[in-house]
């Protein structure tokens, strides 16, 4: 199962959700891969810290090789790097991705990521794709490669507008490029339990029939500590309320995943 986490609005906790849901999957014994496609490399920095620069070759090298037609002789495992956490692996990102984007768009390399993940085949039980907060080449590649799209929602009116646009984008990708792509659900992130507006916005979205996932993921300073320590929450604070919410959210996703054949 491949999940892409995407929202056009920045600051919704996209990379944090990718890393932590992937960490939960790995904690439960699933061979898990994170693919960081954001030139900012937040997921990469989160997991690797100072070691991020040494993680080569990376996603940019893979895409650069697609421009040279050398993929037939390339071992896809070259781009996959182990992390400090059992069963959790990463294809890292970097600023070089931004430099390549216009070339990749003009050469229509939009299906190459899906081909790479297909070649990795049964090596991974779960794949989580992190994307830039824009509908460009890398996000399109991820949507074409994924089975489910998870939409982080931070209970903000701007995020709500972006949510509607994204739903239309997923429908278009499904019709034109990836008939298997489905909405995996809206993840209510950075939730403030004591505030009235977040609950009101969520209730309105649910009334409109949108697939709101529960539990909601609370806002907590523990997330910043997790970033600073380069440790997913389930490893930094296994018994914390936020860690439990992430485990429960992952369990909901697993309950909706098709059974392995």
In a domain, 260, yes or no: no
In a domain, 157, yes or no: yes
The residue with greater pLDDT, 68 or 150, is: 150
CATH code of the domain containing 134:
3.40.50.300
Question: What is the separation, in whole angstroms, between the first and last Cα of the chain?
Answer: 12
Residue 234 has pLDDT above 80, yes or no: yes
Query: 109 and 63 in contact (C-beta within 8 Å)?
Result: yes
Question: Given this model, what pLDDT does residue 160 score?
Answer: 86
pLDDT band at 137 (very low <50, low <70, confident <90, very high): very high
Element (H or E) spanning 183, and its range? strand 182-188
Region 77-103 average pLDDT: 95
Number of domains composing the chain: 1
Residue 8 has pLDDT above 90, yes or no: no
Among residues of the chain, what percentage have pLDDT more than 70? 97
Range of the domain at 111: 2-255
Q: Which of 43-47, 70-74, 90-94, 121-125 has the lowest mean pLDDT?
A: 70-74
In a domain, 184, yes or no: yes
Summarize pLDDT for 190-232 with one digit per residue, the tens.
898 878 888 999 999 999 999 999 999 999 999 999 999 999 9
Q: What is the pTM of this model?
A: 0.95
**How far is 198 from 215, CA to CA, in rounded Å?**
14
Query: Which residues are 149's β-sheet partners?
Result: 4, 183
Residue 165 sits at the vertex; the CA angle it makes with 159 and 171, to the nearest 5 degrees, is: 135
């Amino acid at each position: 199962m491949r999940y892409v986490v995407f929202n056009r609005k920045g600051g919704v906790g996209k990379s944090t959700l990718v890393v932590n849901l992937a960490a939960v999957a790995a904690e439960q014994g699933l061979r898990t891969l994170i693919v960081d496609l954001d030139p900012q490399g937040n997921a990469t920095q989160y997991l690797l810290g100072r070691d991020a620069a040494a993680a080569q070759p990376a996603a940019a090298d893979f895409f650069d090789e697609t421009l040279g037609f050398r993929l037939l002789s390339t071992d896809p495992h070259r781009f996959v790097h182990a992390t400090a956490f059992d069963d959790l692996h990463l294809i890292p990102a970097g600023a070089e991705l931004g430099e390549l984007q216009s070339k990749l768009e003009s050469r229509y390399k939009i299906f190459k990521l899906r081909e790479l993940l297909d070649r990795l085949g049964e090596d991974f039980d779960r794949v989580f794709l992190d994307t830039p907060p824009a509908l460009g080449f890398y996000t399109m590649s991820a949507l074409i490669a994924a089975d489910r799209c998870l939409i982080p929602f931070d209970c903000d009116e701007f995020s709500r507008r972006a949510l509607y646009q994204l739903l239309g984008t997923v429908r278009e990708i499904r019709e034109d490029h990836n008939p298997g792509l489905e909405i995996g659900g809206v993840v209510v992130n950075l939730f403030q339990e004591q505030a009235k507006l977040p609950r009101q916005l969520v209730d309105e979205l649910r009334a409109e029939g949108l697939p709101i996932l529960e539990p909601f993921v609370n806002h907590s300073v523990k997330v910043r500590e997790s970033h600073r320590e380069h440790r997913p929450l389930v490893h930094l604070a296994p018994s914390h309320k936020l860690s439990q919410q992430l485990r429960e959210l992952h369990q909901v996703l697993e309950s909706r995943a098709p059974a392995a054949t």
